[in-house]
Structure 1
């Protein structure tokens, strides 16, 4: 293993924690992600009815908590329009924090991760403040920085609900000593919505413009588009296919120019999301016939590391850590 004490340039971003090993967005998942080698705890933020920021992948919490089985909340089931799409379920914005704290997390993809599903009901739903305190605790305990990497989820939807995400996020980071050029632990702030990022610029923290593969994102991946992003952000978080696409057989193709173009614009590149199960891997990297078994994940990381990315969002922090160690040793 590498003996150089300098922190590696390539950062491991524990996507919703070690979500390949624990139910996502739980304290158990976050802690394990750091202990497995992650440099950052990645957090999706939504707001409760009383304005508290909690960690859930979406405002609709029926797929990641036990709320659907709680008769006292049966009447909260509703249909809302989120970013132009109708969604039916239970929404964080209809619950107070005290009510959310009575719920327990469940595995979002139990068919893929049955071992995680065995932990359903063990973990409560964490708040941003609790996650920041965990990052500080782990930084002290592990002897290396464990940062936080919050995402504002559907911020325009929250504005329409009268629950703007940015003011409580700004307040929480300032109160926790995580604002300014030298925060107590490292911080990146991410969003798919540029307007949300612009509201966070006052914190003087690195901002990450997320990008999907849908056609409306493609103009931002050009040199001209990246220059526009660089006017307000410090990094991009592109879907993996924008960096190394897959061919018609589902195998990795040649890297695009996105990393080089982003670096030319002064932007870091943190692609999402790396997962080790066969069902998510390129065709030629799958092992055996079990879609949920781990395949040759290290080869996928290597292709992206070689393409020059500056970090990776991963559900399996330990696998990313080992792949990075091998890549740096061989490099």
Structure 2
């Protein structure tokens, strides 16, 4: 096992390197590490037979060729997921053997033509294959490489008899990762799932994902209208309430940049913290803070950093990335890991 003093912030390949290859494919993950990523982030969902696979969502029509496959036409259905009705094809209706016949497509193909040019070339992969990729890349590069595992729709899969925490524990054991170690970071929008991962004795940091709006679905199911909103965790009081329970929080970058008004960190009441105030308050509560997703295209940059009118054209990405890194965040998620490495170097030397 390699041990190191990790760089800050961690440069995390968001679903691999989807700026260059279709997300969640072996090629995308391998390229992310080759471009200097310290970690990669898979989204984890389950199949009907309990295999954990890597897809942005359990509805897969936008990220695979399933809609063009006549043998699966009858699987198209409408289902409620976390309170929203969705129509398409869902991983829980397929066995792994069936999903393994599909080919991946880039989810943001309309603005990622280079990545989309690889559509149809790669199969989708299981979580256990990503553990193998990390083991191999870490050995080749002689550095400690990490996984930031994001669990999607845990309450939904619980209701189907597919508990993600139990399945994940089994995958760790099968991959030779035991109960986890310093290479493992786990994140979810549902705090109950993070609690269950800890109760299973799985070692690794646990990070609470914070949406821009709404409330955690697992808490909605148990607390109905009294469920706390995500914003309620983004005050000094809310962050202190997470201290000792979790190791960090992860927020959309709109909470850090984009013109939102900040307030004095010393004021515990009032609206949610933003910008450097939020970063400082998280650290004061002994929580790490991560942010997603840093992208160079105009459509994803905050207004001051856009250049020209083309949505897919690169804007002043280095300026925005550097501003965020300069706030002292502990990790940044990017679709182009090499740009994150460059931005970190420009700020930290």
1:225 aligns with 2:222: no
Contact 1:79–1:86 (8 Å) recurs in 2: yes
1:286 aligns with 2:270: no
Match of 2:268 in 1: none
Structure 1 length normalisation: TM-score?
A: 0.92
Match of 1:243 in 2: 256
Q: Quote the offset at 1:96 in angstroms.
A: 0.3
Q: Quote the offset at 1:9 in angstroms.
A: 2.1
SS in 2 for 1:103: coil
CA distance in 1, matches of 2:98, 2:148: 26
Correspondence 1:101-140 to 2 at 5 A? 101-140=100-139
Q: Quote the offset at 1:6 in angstroms.
A: 5.9
**Gapped runs of 5+ residues in structure 1?**
249-253
**Paired residue total:** 318
The match for 2:287 among 267, 277, 283 is: 267
CA distance in 2, matches of 1:213, 1:308: 20
Structure 2 length normalisation: TM-score?
A: 0.87
1:207 aligns with 2:206: yes
Q: Quote the offset at 1:247 in angstroms.
A: 5.1
CA RMSD after TM alignment: 1.7
Correspondence 1:1-331 to 2 at 5 A? 7-179=6-178, 182-183=181-182, 186-201=183-198, 202-214=201-213, 216-246=229-259, 255-329=275-349
Q: What are the Cα deviations for residues 207-258 of structure 1, in whole angstroms up to 9, with x where unaligned?
A: 010001115211101112112222321011111122234359xxxxx82511
Moved more, 125-134 or 256-265: 256-265
Runs of 4+ in 1 over 6 A off after TM superposition: none
Contact 1:237–1:270 (8 Å) recurs in 2: yes
Q: Quote the offset at 1:286 in angstroms.
A: 2.1
* Cα distance change of structure 1 residues 180 and 158 upon mapping to structure 2, 3 Å threshold: closer
Contact 2:257–2:302 (8 Å) recurs in 1: no
Contact 1:20–1:316 (8 Å) recurs in 2: yes
Contact 2:172–2:179 (8 Å) recurs in 1: no
SS in 1 for 2:144: coil
**Gapped runs of 5+ residues in structure 2?**
215-228, 262-273
Contact 1:242–1:256 (8 Å) recurs in 2: no
CA distance in 2, matches of 1:122, 1:155: 30
* Cα distance change of structure 1 residues 56 and 181 upon mapping to structure 2, 3 Å threshold: closer
Q: Quote the offset at 1:107 in angstroms.
A: 1.3
CA distance in 2, matches of 1:6, 1:147: 13
SS in 2 for 1:272: strand
Contact 1:14–1:315 (8 Å) recurs in 2: yes
